[in-house]
Amino acid sequence: MKIIFIAAGSSTRLGTKTLNFPKGLIKINNNSIIGTQLELFNKSDDIVIITGPNADKFNFKNVTYINDTNHKKHDVLGSLMVAKSHMNNEIVTTYSDIIFDEKILNSIMEFKGDIGIAVELNWEKRYINRDQHPKSEADNVIIHNGEILKIKKNISESKDDQIIGEFIGLMKLSKEGAKIFKNKYSELEKTHEGKFHNAPSLERAYLTDMLQELINSGLKISPIIINGSWCEIDTPQDIEIAKKNFK
38-70: per-residue pLDDT in tens?
999 986 779 999 999 899 999 999 999 999 999
The whole-number pLDDT of residue 159 equals 86
The mean pLDDT of 92-107, rounded to a whole number, is 96
pTM: 0.94
CA angle 206, 156, 234 (to 5 degrees): 45
Residue pair 26/242 in contact (Cβ under 8 Å)? The answer is no
Contacts of 183 (CB under 8 A, 6+ apart): none
Q: Which residue range is the domain that position 59 belongs to?
A: 2-245
Of the ranges 93-102, 155-164, 171-180, 190-199, which one carries the lowest mean pLDDT score?
Answer: 155-164
CATH code, 238:
3.90.550.10
The number of distinct structural domains making up the chain is 1
Q: Residue 164 belongs to what H/E stretch?
A: strand 163-173
Phi/psi at 24 (5° precision): -65, -15
Quickly list H helices, 129-174: none
List, for residues 223-237, the tens digit of each pLDDT value.
999 999 999 999 999
The mean pLDDT of 143-171, rounded to a whole number, is 94
